[in-house]
Amino acid sequence: MEKNTSSHIRVCRSCLRKLDYEGYKKAGHNYAKKDKIYNRFSLEKFLEENRRKKSFLPKDVEIKSWIIKEDNEYPKNWNELSRTYRKKVNWKCEKCGKDFSNRR
């Protein structure tokens, strides 16, 4: 990317689901509703509404917020990012706790 340019980064759908932002998770298989929530997401509005909460973001948001670009393509160093993150969480699923250390 050139200096002094900007790029719009979209919100991660996985984060919307984890946060159940505006009912995203509850929308289930209603993809039209999910798309509407996704398309009108405003980071500025979200941060303003949640600025006083200490744990409003998923643990992995610092990675997920920048790995997926607007066109939903993974960055070239995705394998490295993925491996680094999985190592950080000790190869365990954060949702169910299953150990995947044998799949390194």
At 3 the pLDDT is: 57
pTM: 0.46
CB 64 within 8 A of CB 14: yes
Residue 58 confidence (pLDDT) above 60: no
CB atoms within 10 A of CB 53: 8
Q: What is the rounded distance in angstroms from the CA atom of residue 10 to the CA atom of residue 29? A: 21
For the chain, the C-alpha Rg in angstroms (whole number) is 16
At 89 the pLDDT is: 87
Residue 99 DSSP one-character state? B
